[in-house]
Structure 1
Amino acid sequence: MVLAFLVSFPLGSIFVRLPHDKPNIAHAFSLAVSTFFLWPLLGMGRGLLHLLFSCGVTYLIVVFNRSPNMPWMVFFFVMAHILYNHARRTFIGLDGAGDITFAQSMMVQKLSLFAWNDLDETQLATRLQHVPSPLPFLGYCFFFPSVLAGPSVDYATYDSLILGTIYDISPPGVSPAQAKANKRRVPYGRKRVAYLHLLLGLGFMGAYALYGAKADYHRILEPTWWTWGKAARFGFVNFAGLIARTKYYGAWSLTEGACILTGIGFNGYDPETGRTLWNRARNVNIVAIETAESFKVLFDSWNCRTNVWLRDCVYKRLTKKGKKPGTKESMATFVTSAIWHGVEPGYYLAFISAGLLTSLGRQFRHYVRPYFLPPASAPTSAPNALPKYPYPNLRKRVYDVIGWIMVQINLNNVAASFVLLDLKDCFRAWARMYFYSHVLIIISTAFFHFGGRRALRKGLEARGISTTKRSIPKDVPSVQVSPPSPPREEMDPKDLHWIRHALDSPSQDGGEGMGPDGGFVEELMSGAETPRNETPRGGTPVRVSKEE
């Protein structure tokens, strides 16, 4: 599979040069390359038939059923098909050549997006005006850089790449006429960003190859575990979590780099700096994950395209117009995410545990974090302040560091079940780690539920800080100091600063983030921890909304 990722880079350089006026060549190219990856290279001919079956049935449903229920029929079909293969893998015990679910999980996203993409303004901009013929449809489904491990994109984005219209966005300060007069087809920066992803991917894959066996969570289950000191055991759990993530970092960096080489990663220009952005196909923000000070930031930065798919195809779909999503919508999203991953109990344990931690993090942010922020009357500058926080910030920095430590140690504990999967192995491993994450969850939940939330709220109100409509000063945003992209003749090939800017810029996909459980656990806990009406002694009712 890694070989397929690497081969996608030179093939991506060929793909971007295919003529736009003959789109069938590009469609056939993708289909042929993906067929080679799955069949001769990986020996998954039967798995290829499963993918073709999903695509064929979906296409027939879309073509011959134009009722409002058509998208739901596609969605339930593709989910039932992958559930069937998950069950076969788990209960029959298929070998590597028989397990197609890793590629099918990406196909599920593509097919459901293809059938249903007209919910809000963002999706209306990318909805299908007509059903494409079979070859373009298969070219989209089997787009070779993303066929094995993603990321998934909608059909309109793929079609704009094939036709070359994805590059029609005008740079800042350039009129459409001037942009059209520029005959260069692909904006600058594509190769540099793509090959930087290649280097990152190879680095993470190398780290996993060197330490993957040594830092395997299964070592927790060995008898030698008890011969280690407590500090060594604690250190191993956190090192194992980091190494487990490098496998995903490596795969996603390689696939994103290959996507960028084809041009599909182009996302316009930064409105302030004018730099080209190549993050349309971003699936992971590694820096944000490893420096996350809250679980919301962490999960919004992990498997980003899957989060967008869950949000657009499940969470929003089930929410009635004019209504706010509730427990049923969140529960459906949770079930969809779990089925999409597999039927192993470890996935469900990981999602529920992470959802509880995310909800508690929200409570801490709402009721504890304001104590560490400077008052609104504090000066906005200080002689020894950090650049990002130009006000007295020592307490805030301490809070952030503690938050980062708590996120990392709990993530690495919970992730054990995501890797071990077997129910007995998950509980044995957590028991050997003294269930420290779950003990923290129980203690924190009890604290907020039995008077802690009320006491913290009173303290904030005594300081003049409202817990309904907060007057807390927002963090001052980072100042972008990197210059605009220089002309080609002035570019220094050794300068990576502007490439880093492209990597760090946010994706075009806006909207609320989705937690690992689709918000189900958070929805349940918010009802217990944050009631709609609560009357302080001698005061008027204080209303606290779910959003806060």
Structure 2
Amino acid sequence: MCSCFLEMEMEEMASLIGVSVPVFQFLLCFVASIPISFFHRFVPGGPIGRHMYAALTGAGLSYLSFGLSSNMHFLVSIVISYGSMLVCRKRCGLITFLLAMGYLIGCHVYYMSGDAWKEGGIDATGSMMVITLKVISCAINYNDGLLKEENLRESQKKNRLLKLPSVIEYVGYCLCCGSHFAGPVYEMKDYLDWTERKGIWTKTQKPSPSPIGATIKAVLQAGLCMAVYLHLSPQYPLSTFSGWTYKYSGFTDRLIYQYMISFTARWKYYFIWSVSEASMVLSGLGFSGWTNYSPPTPQWTRAKNVDILGVEFTKSSVEIPLAWNIHVSTWLRHYVYDRLVKKGKRPGFVQLLATQTVSAVWHGLYPGYIIFFVHSALMISGSRAIYRWQCSVPSNQRLVKKIFMLTNFAYTILVLSYSSLGFMILSMRETIKVYGSVHYIGSIAPVVLIVLGNIIKPRSSSTSRARKRQ
């Protein structure tokens, strides 16, 4: 009787915010990660006790959200990575990358996760995506521990692992306090230092920073984001594209609809990452050091996965990875983009396209994901062309510089809104249909800019400065 009443209550509460009961149940567990992360500070038993708490609470939240199968899937990825580090350290990074990513893709295909999310469902593949990045980075960093330090990049020196983590350390890292639900992704080295109170978490250096202010800010931001999404989503649903209003709208009105639908969808992600930020700040893992100015204030950049104003008012497409899903963008740079660049060579469009393709496959094998991330590579390359022209303008011609800046802003908003529809629609046929409704402007514009950028080249000195800043 009690369980039936509880189910009815959950159905009513889920309907109030316009989600399914499974999604509402996930949201409850997701929000519960905030107090669970807070209590991590007071777990007895030293580092071992904290590792146990991280592993058990993470597994418990996964079980309540998705059922027992979720932890079984997580276990497969964890065993793949840990086994490769035990058996073949010299190749463990590559082995884990191929097998863990392959297993994730298999789960995407089996569960048809994109369709499930699109229809208001939920499954464990979203959490698997985060765990996959964690196990790959840990294996690669353990692999880097064999290399000579002078041959490593700064990020490799900082994150490499000289010894194999224990099993409990590894499981705690993967499942820590529900952070695997939506990220952000963090490094094993940081997790170990935080748990063992080393590095910036050493209490003898400075008093532990208070997380209260940053947590309140993140919680308020999450509430605002959810309110904006709930207000806009009924007005600009994805079904707009199949309705009569859109069909009989003019070209400009269709572009506005595309912008508003993309704009509305982003607030859902802002809410999710704001909750994650609050959770990581409260746990202390989000702490990233003190500012240099006096008096020093604590920084929480390890917890921050999105800069809302940075996305909505970005000056160019190049800046979007620095503001959107920040830690996944950082992961892609450190473990894909940088490692595809040969020593002494400059990165180019090939490395960018390969990185965006990995990101697309990581999300799932849907045509819409591939279309979106290929467009992202084109969008960034087109934006770089505008930026190089802007940098070549003499400093005394401020009006011309501002025109280029506004052009880059408008271009980014146009192509981002256009291309992100593929990410939401997923279907090849429907995506192309929506793109065609605005004469493929978001596909043509970046290609034209890339071609013009290779024909109309700015002065070499200005170009080199622009490249350094890009």
TM-score scaled by structure 2? 0.84
Q: Alpha-carbon deviations, 1:277-301, whole Å to 9, x = none?
A: 1112322222211111110012332
Measured after TM superposition, the shift of residue 145 of structure 1 is 3.8
Query: 1:425/1:222 Cα in 2 relative to 1: closer, same or farther (>3 Å)?
Result: same
Measured after TM superposition, the shift of residue 77 of structure 1 is 0.9
1:311 counterpart residue number? 333
Greater displacement, 5-14 / 291-300:
5-14
Letter in 2 for 1:314: V
1:233 counterpart residue number? 254
> How do 1:15-414 residues align onto structure 2 when only pairs under 5 Å count?
15-19=40-44, 22-40=46-64, 42-66=65-89, 68-90=90-112, 99-117=123-141, 118=144, 119-168=152-201, 180=204, 184=207, 186-188=208-210, 190-228=211-249, 230-273=251-294, 274-325=296-347, 329-371=351-393, 373-375=394-396, 393-414=398-419
Letter in 2 for 1:363: A
Whether 2:470 is the aligned partner of 1:470: answer no
Percent identity over the alignment is: 23
Query: 1:343/1:158 Cα in 2 relative to 1: closer, same or farther (>3 Å)?
Result: same
> How do 1:499-518 residues align onto structure 2 when only pairs under 5 Å count?
none
Q: Alpha-carbon deviations, 1:106-130, whole Å to 9, x = none?
A: 0111101111123423322332232
Contact 2:138 2:187 in 1 (8 A): yes
CA–CA separation in structure 1 for the residues paired with 2:53 and 2:283: 12
Greater displacement, 255-264 / 57-66:
57-66
Measured after TM superposition, the shift of residue 360 of structure 1 is 1.4
1:521 counterpart residue number? none
Letter in 1 for 2:30: F
Q: Secondary structure at the match of 1:125?
A: helix
Letter in 2 for 1:211: L
Whether 2:451 is the aligned partner of 1:426: answer no
Contact 1:128 1:156 in 2 (8 A): yes
Contact 1:252 1:284 in 2 (8 A): yes
Measured after TM superposition, the shift of residue 4 of structure 1 is 2.3
Query: 1:328/1:254 Cα in 2 relative to 1: closer, same or farther (>3 Å)?
Result: same
1:520 counterpart residue number? none
Q: Alpha-carbon deviations, 1:285-334, whole Å to 9, x = none?
A: 22211111110012332112112211222223343444444666555433
Q: Secondary structure at the match of 1:142?
A: helix
1:513 counterpart residue number? none
Tell me: higher relative CO, structure 1 or 2? Use CA pairs within 8 A at least 6 residues apart.
Answer: 1
Measured after TM superposition, the shift of residue 153 of structure 1 is 0.7
Pick the structure with greater CA Rg: 1
CA–CA separation in structure 2 for the residues paired with 1:287 and 1:226: 32
Contact 1:221 1:425 in 2 (8 A): no
Greater displacement, 117-126 / 234-243:
117-126
1:493 counterpart residue number? none
Measured after TM superposition, the shift of residue 235 of structure 1 is 2.3
Query: 1:472/1:423 Cα in 2 relative to 1: closer, same or farther (>3 Å)?
Result: closer
Contact 2:357 2:373 in 1 (8 A): no
Contact 2:388 2:463 in 1 (8 A): no
Q: Alpha-carbon deviations, 1:458-515, whole Å to 9, x = none?
A: xxxxxxxxx21229999xxxxxxxxxxxxxxxxxxxxxxxxxxxxxxxxxxxxxxxxx
Measured after TM superposition, the shift of residue 357 of structure 1 is 2.0
Greater displacement, 288-297 / 399-408:
399-408
Q: Number of aligned residue pairs: give it.
A: 433
1:435 counterpart residue number? 440
Query: 1:313/1:302 Cα in 2 relative to 1: closer, same or farther (>3 Å)?
Result: same
Contact 1:44 1:98 in 2 (8 A): no
Query: 1:213/1:98 Cα in 2 relative to 1: closer, same or farther (>3 Å)?
Result: closer
1:525 counterpart residue number? none
Query: 1:160/1:135 Cα in 2 relative to 1: closer, same or farther (>3 Å)?
Result: same
CA–CA separation in structure 2 for the residues paired with 1:472 and 1:447: 18
Greater displacement, 350-359 / 242-251:
350-359
Q: Alpha-carbon deviations, 1:341-388, whole Å to 9, x = none?
A: 1110011111122221211111111124533x523xxxxxxxxxxxxx
CA–CA separation in structure 1 for the residues paired with 2:30 and 2:417: 27
CA–CA separation in structure 2 for the residues paired with 1:236 and 1:48: 40
Whether 2:20 is the aligned partner of 1:4: answer no
Greater displacement, 122-131 / 282-291:
122-131
Q: Alpha-carbon deviations, 1:93-146, whole Å to 9, x = none?
A: 768877322111101111011111234233223322322221111111101241
Contact 2:356 2:374 in 1 (8 A): no
Query: 1:65/1:399 Cα in 2 relative to 1: closer, same or farther (>3 Å)?
Result: closer
Larger % of helix: which?
A: 2
Contact 1:28 1:139 in 2 (8 A): yes
Measured after TM superposition, the shift of residue 241 of structure 1 is 1.4
Say what the alpha-carbon RMSD is for the aligned residues.
2.8
Query: 1:130/1:99 Cα in 2 relative to 1: closer, same or farther (>3 Å)?
Result: same
Letter in 2 for 1:101: T
CA–CA separation in structure 1 for the residues paired with 2:217 and 2:138: 31
Query: 1:228/1:167 Cα in 2 relative to 1: closer, same or farther (>3 Å)?
Result: same
1:505 counterpart residue number? none
TM-score scaled by structure 1? 0.72
CA–CA separation in structure 2 for the residues paired with 1:135 and 1:162: 12
Query: 1:99/1:131 Cα in 2 relative to 1: closer, same or farther (>3 Å)?
Result: same
Measured after TM superposition, the shift of residue 252 of structure 1 is 0.8
Letter in 2 for 1:470: S
Q: Secondary structure at the match of 1:49?
A: helix
Q: Alpha-carbon deviations, 1:403-425, whole Å to 9, x = none?
A: 32222122111111110010011
Letter in 2 for 1:48: N
